[in-house]
A and B are shown apart, each in its own frame.
Chain A
Amino acid sequence: MMTMMTRAHVTFVVLAACASPAAHDDAPAPPRLVAIEPDDVAILYPPSGASIAVDELVPHAIYVRAFGAEGSLQLGGTPAPPRLDELVLVAIRIDPEREQLRLVFQPRTDRDDAVHAFFTLEHGGARELAEQIAALRGGVTLGPLAPHPLLVQPTGAFSTALATLVRRYANPAKLSRVTVITSSGLGTAWNFFGVDVGADGAATPVAIPTLPTAVHLEAFFAGFVDGELTGEPAFTPESTTLDPRDDLRLLANHDRLARATAADRKRAAAAAARIEDPAVHTSDTIDCASCHVAHLVQAHGPTNVHMFGYDHGRPSIQPRTIREVDASVLALNTR
């Protein structure tokens, strides 16, 4: 399923400032004045991914420190994170609000997993990077978010130049967070966890908002009935500080939903809408599973937890991602 929503196009395109001169000889030429488009801040590679070795970007030593030696099962025997050498870079996200670069990796295998690596950018670095990517387009206007048309040919000039930028900005010394999604329950459950990476490379489990502080892994169980949401409990562990306005959990179990009052259904639907709104919630305020399933529990389709990447080989671009991207474009074009 390709989740595509009509995005609110930013119509008042303005000039973006010139980026600072390139620091390396092999870097692309300084960009011209160009407006930022969504595909400049959210780039989806074809499913085969980028031609960049993942351990160039995410050091193996940090990965092992974070999640244990290769094959180490996680809490409750949930799966080990995928090996770095089985991952490919499938997407790039630039967040000017946080001055952050996010790289999305998924396995070459049929595992429905993902690894996200977050890099801190220098002040103004997000704008600089987005402008350089925009300049690489050479004035070509791209359509709605989709696998990047200029990356369809992985050996093309755009691909080569983009790889150079990724290597430059995804500085392992600036790696700040690594998060992981694994699938278990024979493809019916998804596990979310991660680490914050200190300047010294030390890894600290990410505190997941609304969950008990001692718990650093959250799971979503869709249930064993194909095409239905029957997991009970769907979310593990139970949130302890979840605002009732943000409680969409009723939507995650069709049996309970069928027995619920109209008021409770309405409240849960409103919660899903709030969670899908980046102006209301971020990863600092809502738990991983709620955010990753907010669209799923409303759409009543096959389970897909990938916000910007691939769902069993099919492009997956969730509505929340489109809103986040539009907000980033707006910010970059109006500042």
Chain B
Amino acid sequence: MKLAVVIALLANATLAEARLHQDGYDTPTETHVELVVGLWHDDKLTPDHGWNHYTFVAPTSGYVAVQMRAPRDHATLWSYLRVIDGDHNWAAVANRVTNLSEVVVAVERGHHYDIIATSQRNATLEPGERQITDGPYTIGVVPIALP
């Protein structure tokens, strides 16, 4: 699969810190969805719910690719993913053609990961600027084998 990946950023923020930092824009909506390797969950972002929070518990140790995809050339939804593991978090934004973002993470069996899906527009709002993202996306965790 040709992935239009993306920028991967390593930052230092816990989920709580991320929430605090993002409160100026939105508080992540708790979806109560636990993602499962190989299955796709469809969801949407709206001006009132511009950040969605998921969880993932790794069934095995190894690498997974957390992926988020929205319709190509969507006017307001530009896929943006953040994966949070304690003091570490990784983020990725899709290119505008595929609107597919991906974060590859080395995971440990039984370990819990937080995942936030939003739009690049929401992640870069200026203070006081309102969210306008409104559209569908899908999110999944894909097992991958790296050499």
Contact = CB atoms under 8 A, between A and B. Distances in A.
A247 to B, nearest CB: 17
A219 interface: yes
A233 B69 contact: no
A202 interface: no
Interface string B103-147: 000000000000000000000000000000000111010110000
Contacts of B137: 186
Nearest to B2: A225
A2 B41 CA distance: 29
Nearest to A74: B39
A48 to B, nearest CB: 27
B40 A78 contact: yes
A143 interface: no
B18 interface: no
A223 interface: yes
A233 B65 CA distance: 12
A237 B36 CA distance: 10
A78 B41 contact: yes
A76 B39 contact: yes
B100 interface: yes
Contacts of A231: 1
Kindly name the residue among A73, A188, A191 whose own CB sees the greatest number of chain B CB atoms within 10 A. Answer: A73
Q: Which 9 A-B pairs have the closest CB atoms?
A: A236-B38, A76-B36, A77-B41, A76-B39, A185-B40, A77-B33, A184-B40, A189-B40, A186-B138
Interface of A: 73, 75-79, 184-186, 188-189, 191, 217, 219, 221, 223-225, 230-233, 236-237, 255
Interface of B: 1-2, 31, 33-43, 54, 69-71, 98, 100, 136-138, 140, 142-143
